[in-house]
A and B are shown apart, each in its own frame.
Chain A
Amino acid sequence: MNTKSKISGLLKDNIENFLFVLPAFAIFCVFYIYPFTNMIYISFQDWIGIGPMHFVGLQNYKELMGDKLWWDSIWHAGYITLFALCFQNPLAFALALACDREIRLKRFYRVVFFIAPVLSEVVVGLIWNWILNPETQNGQHIGLLNHFLYASGFPQLVHDWLGDPKTALTTIAIVNSWKGFGWGFIILLAGLQTIDKQLYEAAKIDGAGAWKTFTNVTIPMMLPVILVVMILTILGCMQVFVLILTLVNEGLVNHTDVPVTRIFSAMQNTNRFGYACAEAVVFGIILVSISFLTKKLSDKAKQA
């Protein structure tokens, strides 16, 4: 009798405790686990979104391997990511170093640098779309950039920045970096502020100059933070989509396509749900591998 009530009490306890998790778990299963597994399942089918599915095995994946537009789109996203890694992150680090000291207006800088990251991609994309507008009216350049170039004596530089396949991708990469560097700045600045000031003192006593202190104290101490920023940059830039959508208005499709654009158009324009899911699976694997590799490299660098 006693043990029985004990067991039923324990059971009731467990059920009660699980009820706390139930809402989260239910939403998670329906809106994450199920779509996740279903995505893999659909990727083996030929399906237009309604009606019966046709199992086609690896056909979607085989076609994807030879799809030049798809690999081009990966390269475009890779280009934007490389641009951010080479310019945006060093800029963020330089700004963080400049702000990591007693300096006037420090709070002002910190607030201003993080405004662009809190704005939506739609807002940023449409503002820059207007600034970069290539049109003229009555001989006047209506876009601010071209007007400025013309008025300040560089008419030869006036250009359709987003319309020319040669410059479109770099222009997008610059706007993307403009929007994104504030994230890195805030995280790196917070990292710099956790470095023990005694380490700098010790380096000074040992006779290390500014550069030596930077390479021997700051960089090694900051390595984990730098890697976090790198991984976040890679994952964020590879998935850029809305910014491009609002910047180019679907104008220059094949030159500025990124993977998410391809997935979107496979689904919405051609109704090829199986193919879209295959693209999504391949893209997911690529992203996980990149961040895994970055992590592995960082562990190696830490040991060395």
Chain B
Amino acid sequence: MKTNRYFLWGMAKSTLIHIFLMTVALTCLFPLFWMIRCAFMTNATVFVDQSLIPHHLNFGNFAIAWTKGNFAVFFLNSVIYTVSVVTGIVFISSLAAYSFSRLKFPGKNIIFYMFVGAMMIPLPGSFVALFVLMTKLHLINTRFGYILCMINVGLSMSILIFKTFFDKMPHELEDAARIDGCGKFGIWWNMAMPFARPAIAVIVIFNSLNVWNEYILSTLLLGDSNLMPLQRGLVVFQGANSTDYPVLMAGLTMAAIPIIMVYLFMQKHIVKGLSSGEVLG
């Protein structure tokens, strides 16, 4: 009798918990579903037909967005920026972190704490001064300028993550490499980088998300529509065709899908990166 009551109570409790979780999960998914659904409609049906699955699936919006909406260019730009910024960050920050962790030079600690301090102090309006600087350097409206700025954005956090990894690297590994005739650079490349592979995964994912989703700097620095990344392109497109919702939704879908795919395949690393607290500094 008593066990029965406990059993029922447990059942009721877990059902309630599932209802709660499921409600929130549906709230998360439905807007995305709605975006994809509207991407398959036409201007004639999108305002009238409110059924969950439209009767006629129209694939043309993706083609229109890709060609007329200039999304082919925006998409390619986003890929270029993401790949070059992330590659730059991985090399530059791992070199610096290796030196901070294993090598000696005067002023090492001061420079390291400058990087850490930069991470702690939020600079919400630094884009004003950055814009002034880029104008002076004639780097406005150049891919190179935007890439350098974005490398700087991800640098501090990546150095910190790399350094915590290199600090854990056993000294025997280095000694063995040194006996084999490796220089410092060789040890960094042959020993430290392979050892820090999990750190590289975390850094690549977080910085890719960050660059792919960046908006403010690309707005300030890139006025030429041939240089704009996707996020900026979406806003430009929306401003110019504010009523063409199906094509806009097709564009949004194309911007969201790659990031969701990366997330689904890499979520183990994302959770690990977040929960180890390394990302939080």
Contact B128 A39 (CB under 8 A): yes
B115: chain A residues within 8 A (beta carbon): 24, 28
Contact A20 B96 (CB under 8 A): yes
- Knowing A20-B95, A91-B24, say if A118 contacts B14 (CB, 8 Å): no
Q: Of A32, A42, A115, A183, which one neighbours B260 at CB under 8 angstroms?
A: A115
B144 to chain A, nearest CB (A): 12
The 9 closest A-B pairs by CB, nearest first: A280-B125, A190-B275, A120-B213, A20-B99, A35-B129, A24-B96, A31-B152, A17-B103, A39-B129
* Closest B residue by C-beta to A279: B125
**Chain A positions near chain B (C-beta within 8 angstroms):** 13-18, 20-21, 23-25, 27-28, 30-36, 38-39, 42, 49, 91, 94-95, 98-99, 103-105, 108-116, 118-123, 126-128, 130-131, 137-138, 140, 142, 144, 147, 151, 178, 182-183, 186-187, 189-191, 193, 228, 232, 235, 238-239, 241-242, 245-246, 249, 259-260, 263, 267, 273, 276-277, 279-281, 283-284, 287-288, 291
A242: chain B residues within 8 A (beta carbon): 215-216
A288: chain B residues within 8 A (beta carbon): 121-122
Contact A130 B106 (CB under 8 A): no
A15 to B248, CA, bound (A): 54
A24: chain B residues within 8 A (beta carbon): 92-93, 95-96, 115, 155, 159
A193 to B272, CA, bound (A): 12
- Knowing A95-B21, A112-B29, A186-B274, say if A39 contacts B256 (CB, 8 Å): no
Contact A128 B260 (CB under 8 A): no
- Knowing A99-B21, A126-B248, say if A246 contacts B235 (CB, 8 Å): yes
Could you mark each residue 2-17 of chain B with 1 if its beta carbon is under 8 Å from any beta carbon of chain A, else 0?
A: 0000000000001001
27 sampled A-B residue pairs with Cβ under 8 A:
A21-B111, A24-B93, A28-B118, A28-B152, A31-B149, A32-B118, A38-B133, A42-B129, A105-B18, A108-B25, A114-B270, A115-B32, A115-B263, A120-B259, A122-B235, A123-B231, A123-B256, A178-B27, A178-B28, A182-B28, A183-B274, A187-B274, A187-B280, A228-B280, A246-B235, A249-B239, A283-B124
B204-234 residues at the A interface, CB under 8 angstroms: 209, 212-213, 215-216, 231, 234
B66: chain A residues within 8 A (beta carbon): none
* Closest A residue by C-beta to B14: A103
Main secondary structure of the interface of B (DSSP, over half): helix
Contact B34 A127 (CB under 8 A): yes
Q: Determine if B240 is an interface residue (Cβ-Cβ < 8 Å).
A: no
Residue among B47, B100, B149, B245 with the highest chain A CB neighbour number at 10 A: B47
Contact A36 B129 (CB under 8 A): yes
* Closest A residue by C-beta to B209: A118
A42: chain B residues within 8 A (beta carbon): 128-129, 132
Q: Determine if B238 is an interface residue (Cβ-Cβ < 8 Å).
A: yes
A39 to B125, CA, bound (A): 9
- Knowing A39-B126, A112-B29, A260-B124, say if A17 contacts B104 (CB, 8 Å): yes
B17: chain A residues within 8 A (beta carbon): 98, 103
B113: chain A residues within 8 A (beta carbon): none
Contact A130 B38 (CB under 8 A): yes
Contact B21 A280 (CB under 8 A): no
Contact B252 A123 (CB under 8 A): yes
A189: chain B residues within 8 A (beta carbon): 275
Contact B275 A187 (CB under 8 A): yes
A61 to chain B, nearest CB (A): 14
* Closest A residue by C-beta to B106: A14
Contact A31 B133 (CB under 8 A): yes
Q: Of A91, A118, A178, which one neighbours B259 at CB under 8 angstroms?
A: A118
* Closest A residue by C-beta to B133: A35
Q: Of B121, B125, B148, B245, which one neighbours A31 at CB under 8 angstroms?
A: B148
Could you mark each residue 268-279 of chain B with 1 if its beta carbon is under 8 Å from any beta carbon of chain A, else 0?
A: 001100110100
- Knowing A126-B238, A284-B121, say if A95 contacts B24 (CB, 8 Å): yes
Given contacts A178-B31, A280-B126, 10 further A-B contacts (CB under 8 A): A17-B99, A24-B115, A104-B18, A114-B263, A118-B259, A126-B234, A186-B271, A249-B238, A267-B128, A287-B124
A183: chain B residues within 8 A (beta carbon): 274
Contact B260 A121 (CB under 8 A): no
Residue among B46, B122, B280 with the highest chain A CB neighbour number at 10 A: B122
